Structure 1
Amino acid sequence: MLRFEAAEARLGDFRLRADFGIDAGARVAVIGPSGSGKSTLLGTVSGFVPLSSGRVCWQGRDMGVLAPGERPVSVLFQDQNLFPHLSVAQNVGLGLRPDLRLSADQERAVSRALDEVGLSGMAERRPANLSGGQQSRVALARVALRARPVLLLDEAFSALGPALKSEMLELLGRIAERSGATVLMVTHDPKDARAFAPQTVVVIDGLAQPAVPTGPLLDHPPAPLAAYLG
């Protein structure tokens, strides 16, 4: 279980609070107005946002003692974090070894990951020669290869068109199902939450609320969320 135990983070005058748990393997949307603390919530899990009090635990272990790179967490951002001077295969291979000194078995694993996301034959291309959707697939292949038990997505597909975004959510769902990863996905689009996440965490004015079933929540949103959704 991923557990926020009276967790609080302060960034200047802003304060985020969270006190709830998320079951291992759950797929959870994180939704709320801009500036409410959605990305900050993910940052407390990844380690990029330090806590001022409380704890964030994975399977009972306090992750506060771990540096971001040591946490059982992968993060996928909107800009995909691809290195332009590296090939597609090298960008994916970073998920296994930052020095890219891959064994033959690891190189085969990279090839399989590219096949899984529909990028067969593109291993030697550079990111600049890919479409936005293809770049998203490279980033997904990398996090899939890392196989960390917690996957965080911070509006990773928001720049994509509706059809392509739907394809990426389906692909993400297959990867999460196969790996058993716990997924937290920040989105501004309630359609994405309905399509991907059976549960949703609402973040309003710095308070992250416990996850609830997505459909009933969006069918009858509380007043602050309804005002945001329009």
Structure 2
Amino acid sequence: MTTPQTKSGLELRDIAIRLQDRVLVDLDLVIAPGEIVTLMGPSGSGKSSLLGHICGTLPTAFEVQGTVRLNGRVLDGLAPQDRHVGILFQDDLLFPHLSVGGNLAFALPSSIKGKAARQAQIADALESAGMAGFADRDPATLSGGQRARVALMRVLLSEPGVLLLDEPFSKLDSGLRDQIRSFVFDLARQNGLPTLMVTHDPEDGQAANGRVIAL
């Protein structure tokens, strides 16, 4: 029997996504806590549509069948903010009007009360990213690699139950790509997050060192 404490991972049971009678996704998949699964396919193959369905942001023009469960909890029909799904995109999407610390504070759950407690969470996150003391920095002053690290820490501070990666390394130069990939994958495993990455780059799948599924 599944209890709220049980971490069974992400279950995509008999998922079929159609658009105008065209089947984009036909998938049955379970991703265990800490496992990284790579989904590969060309543009238009339905990779991002699947992520949108898991997040609860897929447009109503798509027809979907099947069930999505996260740690035993059915996500279908829930609002996006109630799903506890974390996602990283190819753009870091940091808020330009907020400091680095402000960006991270935006993700903190409301259960963390008090300024001191929230600042401590932010400081710990920055230290784990190798960016201690960066809380007051303007995101515009950060390097691409630093921005990518802040974006990941913001996702993790929201306490997601699953991590989705939507081509998050595609805009990084080759010198940074390996470093940031390792950073993301290591933290996903350390946090026991079932992780689904969509990409068109075979090197991403090789670096993840897990199952690779072609659409």
Shorter-chain TM-score range: 0.7 to 0.9
- Indicate conservation of the 8 Å contact 1:29/1:197, yes or no: no
Post-superposition offset of 1:144: 2.0
- Indicate conservation of the 8 Å contact 1:77/1:155, yes or no: yes
CA pair 101-89 structure 1, distance change in 2 beyond 3 A: farther
Post-superposition offset of 1:33: 1.2
TM-score of the superposed pair, with normalisation by structure 1: 0.80
Q: Are residue 7 (structure 1) and residue 21 (structure 2) matched?
A: no
Paired position in structure 2 for 1:201 = 213
Mean Cα displacement is larger for which, 194-203 or 152-161? 194-203
Post-superposition offset of 1:201: 2.1
- What SS class does the counterpart of residue 76 from structure 2 fall into? helix
1:160 to 172, 175, 189: 172
Alpha-carbon distance in 1 for matches of 2:45, 2:158: 30
- Indicate conservation of the 8 Å contact 1:87/1:124, yes or no: yes
Q: Are residue 36 (structure 1) and residue 45 (structure 2) matched?
A: yes
Note the aligned Cα RMSD (angstroms): 2.0
Post-superposition offset of 1:183: 0.9
- Indicate conservation of the 8 Å contact 1:75/1:151, yes or no: yes
Post-superposition offset of 1:173: 2.2
- What SS class does the counterpart of residue 192 from structure 1 fall into? helix
Post-superposition offset of 1:57: 1.4
Q: Map 1:1-230 onto structure 2 (within 5 A).
A: 1-12=9-20, 14-15=22-23, 16-49=25-58, 52-97=64-109, 103-203=115-215
Mean Cα displacement is larger for which, 10-19 or 191-200? 10-19
Alpha-carbon distance in 2 for matches of 1:17, 1:102: 46
Structure 1 residues 108-144: Cα deviation after superposition (integer angstroms, max 9, x where no partner): 1111101111222221122222122111111011112
Alpha-carbon distance in 1 for matches of 2:144, 2:113: 28
- Indicate conservation of the 8 Å contact 1:117/1:140, yes or no: no
Gaps of 5+ in 2: 1-8
Give the count of matched residue pairs.
202
- What SS class does the counterpart of residue 52 from structure 1 fall into? strand
